[in-house]
């Protein structure tokens, strides 16, 4: 390691670009959020509004509902994917897994497919008449499955799609984490007569904590911001059943050109995202003392 | 240690089928003539290519495809160049506040894109305007913009790879009188080539896959990308499922091609090097 300012020269071009396309927009909405600004209004200029945008926002039922819906969605998918991913990773952990490369290749597929194509694919599965989902739901369970009229079906399908899309990532990263665990503490716990649940909770979970934290963090951030695949699947409908926060901002701000309010909405969403990730971090690292 | 039992083997097979099924269904639908669309069979019964022919014969779609190629390739090249420089700086120099820079990089990657749509739209249409040229609806705009999520990713992946090249090699070269640029281009670059290839491919795929920014920050066929074509197609016609499936398959094709090559690195990349896949 060389102590020198030359290092900054290497970082400068990357930092400059990220500053312009990543940080300047943030400062800009911070500024615009304090103004009343609608380019289609009688007065298309910026008028100082103080905190008025934020005051209306916290009483805006469509915004609050979509935020709640997003949190419910994110909670369900992250928990299901984590449980499912863990069970699958454990079940398939045997060192002689046949075709390990092949398995990993198949499981990489949903991760690299364009989210917009994932949405299109699931739509093909769900269109009544054409898709196999409505067909078999009718055949096996007698359910008239229709995501464009039934809010529960739409919400459920959005969850199912996300689970299909991201469980492989959770499985793969937990498999990587489990493979890297040292064997001795596990064997020691077995000799000491710990049962499976005790070993899981007192030995595996604490050792796996960094991996779990990283995986949950990445999945939560992604679930909170999913837009593309939902847009292709349901367009946020029926009514507002699958209109998550990102989609809400997108389909509200641009047609209405209400930029001041849109800026406040964007900023509050960012704030909620940051607070959530911070809470997650505290919750996951704070419990360490009790477990060890 | 233990061999995989029957239960696990069945699980393995079932899981793989479930994972492949939606993509397979897309392929099946794309190869069906309109009259057979309502068949529920999972087999590709006749190789009907007219859906693909119709999509690839559409000049607007070809334009979008070309735009996607340009944007993804230029962005990946830019990101790899700047990412390699930044990773070299972070890996080989002690930089005051380097940890904070690192943290700032992740936040860029993790930020919800919907939040940045409005400010970027306003900046692109009102502020980043130079004479007649504005960043809105240009390929250059998208190329720069995709750095937001691709550059942190590239720096992370490349830093891990550069950290794996022993610094003693640099020191030895320096003692022999090599300049910093010689060390970077003649020593590090050849050693980092496999890592750069993986980084290039993954960032290329992410740029290719991006939809939300492309849909909001472009408006004409001079810059719209293949993902926006797919979304537009549904809202315009919505009924010709065979052609939509063909289009979706063409959008997925690059990912399918590089799948085997990137599978080793995807977990490492997405978890910011926290996990070795």
Contact B209, A116 (CB under 8 A): yes
| pLDDT for the residue numbered B1 | 44
Q: Which domains, and CATH codes, for chain B?
A: 1-48 (no CATH), 52-270 (1.10.3720.10)
Q: Distance (Å) from the C-alpha of residue A289 to the closest C-alpha of chain B?
A: 22
Q: CA B234 from chain center: how many Å? A: 23
User: Which residue has 């670059």 as its token pair?
Assistant: B189
Closest B-chain CA to A171: B267
Average pLDDT over residues A164-173: 91
pLDDT band at A292 (very low <50, low <70, confident <90, very high): very low
pLDDT band at A72 (very low <50, low <70, confident <90, very high): very high
Residue ranges of the domains in chain A? 17-291
ipTM: 0.87
pLDDT at A144 over 80: yes
Over residues B256-271, the pLDDT tens digits come to: 888 878 877 777 777 7
Residues from chain A that touch B155, judged by Cβ atoms under 8 A, are 14
pLDDT band at B233 (very low <50, low <70, confident <90, very high): confident
Average pLDDT over residues A150-166: 93
Average pLDDT over residues A95-124: 84
Residues from chain A that touch B231, judged by Cβ atoms under 8 A, are 116, 231-232
pLDDT at B2 over 60: no
Average pLDDT over residues B137-162: 89
How much is the pTM? 0.89
Residue B244 and residue A124: Cβ atoms within 8 Å? Answer: yes
Residue B208 and residue A91: Cβ atoms within 8 Å? Answer: no
pLDDT at A290 over 70: no
| pLDDT for the residue numbered A2 | 54
pLDDT at B36 over 50: yes
Closest C-alpha to B202, from B144, B259, B142: B259
In this structure, whether the domain defined by A17-291 belongs to CATH 1.10.3720.10 is answered with yes
| pLDDT for the residue numbered B276 | 59
pLDDT at A115 over 90: yes
- % of residues, chain B, pLDDT over 90: 25
Contact A135, A143 (CB under 8 A): no
Residue A269 sits at the chain B interface (C-beta within 8 Å):
yes
- From CA B240, how far away is CA B30, in angstroms rounded? 10
- From CA A118, how far away is CA B37, in angstroms rounded? 20
B266 SS3 class? helix
| pLDDT for the residue numbered A288 | 45
Of A286-290, B103-107, B220-224, give the range with the top mean pLDDT: B220-224
Over residues A6-21, the pLDDT tens digits come to: 778 888 898 899 888 8
Residue A25 and residue B123: Cβ atoms within 8 Å? Answer: yes
**CB neighbour class for B163 (10 Å; exposed up to 12, middle 13-18, buried from 19):** middle
pLDDT band at B236 (very low <50, low <70, confident <90, very high): low
Over residues A233-269, the pLDDT tens digits come to: 888 878 888 899 989 988 888 888 888 888 898 899 9
Over residues A44-62, the pLDDT tens digits come to: 777 888 888 888 888 889 9
- % of residues, chain B, pLDDT over 70: 94
Over residues B241-256, the pLDDT tens digits come to: 888 899 999 999 998 8
For B93, phi then psi, to 5°, come to: -125, 145
| pLDDT for the residue numbered B201 | 92
Closest A-chain CA to B35: A130
List Cα–Cα distances, A136 to A125, A140, A156, B22, B212, in angstroms.
11, 6, 16, 14, 33
DSSP per-residue codes, chain A: -EESTHHHHHHHHHHHHHIIIIIHHHHHHHHHTTEE-BTTSSS-S-EE-TTHHHHHHTT-HHHHHHHHHHHHHHHHHHHHHHHHHHHHHHHT--TT-TTHHHHHHHHHHHHHS-HHHHHHHHHHHHSTTT-HHHHHIIIII-----TTT-HHHHHHHHHHHHHHHHHHHHHHHHHHHHHHS-SHHHHHHHHTT--HHHIIIIIIHHHHHHHHHHHHHHHHHHHHT--HHHHHHHTT-STTTT--HHHHHHHHHHHHTBHHHHHHHHHHHHHHHHHHHHHHHHHHHHTHHHH-
Over residues B154-201, the pLDDT tens digits come to: 988 888 888 888 888 888 888 888 888 888 888 888 888 888 998 999
Residues from chain A that touch B274, judged by Cβ atoms under 8 A, are 210-211, 214
pLDDT band at B41 (very low <50, low <70, confident <90, very high): confident
| pLDDT for the residue numbered A201 | 85
pLDDT band at A95 (very low <50, low <70, confident <90, very high): low
Sign, CA torsion A190/A196/A200/A201: negative
Tokens matching residue B162: 């550069």
């Amino acid at each position: 390691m060389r102590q020198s300012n030359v290092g900054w020269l290497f970082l400068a071009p990357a930092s400059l670009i990220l500053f312009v396309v990543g940080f300047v927009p943030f400062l800009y909405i911070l500024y615009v959020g304090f103004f009343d600004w609608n380019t289609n209004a009688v007065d298309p200029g910026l008028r100082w509004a103080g905190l008025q945008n934020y005051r209306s926002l916290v009483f805006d039922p469509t915004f609050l509902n979509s935020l709640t819906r997003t949190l419910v969605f994110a909670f369900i998918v992250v928990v299901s994917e984590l449980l499912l991913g863990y069970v699958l990773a454990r079940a398939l952990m045997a060192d002689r897994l046949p075709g390990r490369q092949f398995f990993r290749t198949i499981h990489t597929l949903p991760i690299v497919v364009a989210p917009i194509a994932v949405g299109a694919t699931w739509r093909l599965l769900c269109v009544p008449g054409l898709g196999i989902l409505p067909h078999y739901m009718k055949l096996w369970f007698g359910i008239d499955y229709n995501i464009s009229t039934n809010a529960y079906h739409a919400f459920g399908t959005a969850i199912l799609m996300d689970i299909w899309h991201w469980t492989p990532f959770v499985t793969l990263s937990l498999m990587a984490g489990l493979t890297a665990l040292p064997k001795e503490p596990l064997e020691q716990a077995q000799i000491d007569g710990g049962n499976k649940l005790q070993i899981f909770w007192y030995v595996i979970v604490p050792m796996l904590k960094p991996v779990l934290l990283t995986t949950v963090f990445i999945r939560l951030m992604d679930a909170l911001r999913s837009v593309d695949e939902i847009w292709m699947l349901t367009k946020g409908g029926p009514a507002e059943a699958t209109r998550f926060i990102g989609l809400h901002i997108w389909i509200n701000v641009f047609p209405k050109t209400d930029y001041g309010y849109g800026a406040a909405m964007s900023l509050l969403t960012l704030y909620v995202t940051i607070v959530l990730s911070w809470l997650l971090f505290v919750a996951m690292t704070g419990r360490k003392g009790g477990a060890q | 240690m233990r061999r995989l039992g029957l239960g696990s083997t069945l699980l393995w097979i079932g899981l793989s089928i479930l994972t492949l099924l939606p993509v397979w269904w897309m392929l099946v639908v794309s190869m069906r003539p309109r009259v057979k669309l309502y068949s529920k069979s999972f087999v590709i019964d006749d190789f009907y290519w007219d859906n693909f022919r119709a999509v690839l014969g559409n000049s607007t779609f070809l334009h979008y495809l070309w735009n996607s190629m340009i944007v993804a390739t230029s962005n990946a090249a830019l990101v790899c160049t700047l990412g390699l420089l930044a990773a070299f700086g972070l890996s080989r120099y002690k930089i005051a506040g380097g940890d904070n820079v690192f943290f700032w990089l992740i936040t860029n990657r993790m930020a919800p894109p919907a939040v940045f749509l409005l400010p970027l739209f306003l900046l692109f249409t009102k502020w980043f305007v130079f004479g007649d040229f504005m960043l809105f609806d240009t390929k250059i705009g998208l190329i720069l913009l995709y750095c937001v999520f691709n550059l942190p990713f590239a720096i992370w992946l490349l830093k891990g790879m550069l950290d794996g090249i022993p610094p003693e090699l640099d020191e030895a070269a320096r003692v022999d009188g090599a300049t910093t640029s010689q060390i970077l281009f003649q020593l590090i670059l050849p050693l980092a080539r496999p890592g750069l290839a993986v980084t290039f491919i993954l960032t290329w795929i992410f740029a290719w896959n991006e939809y939300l920014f492309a849909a909001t920050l472009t408006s004409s066929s001079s810059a719209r990308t293949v993902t926006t074509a797919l979304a537009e197609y549904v809202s315009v016609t919505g009924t010709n499922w065979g052609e939509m499936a063909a289009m979706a398959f063409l959008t997925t094709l690059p990912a399918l091609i590089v799948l085997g090559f990137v599978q080793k690195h995807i977990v490492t990349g997405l978890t910011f090097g926290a996990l070795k896949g």
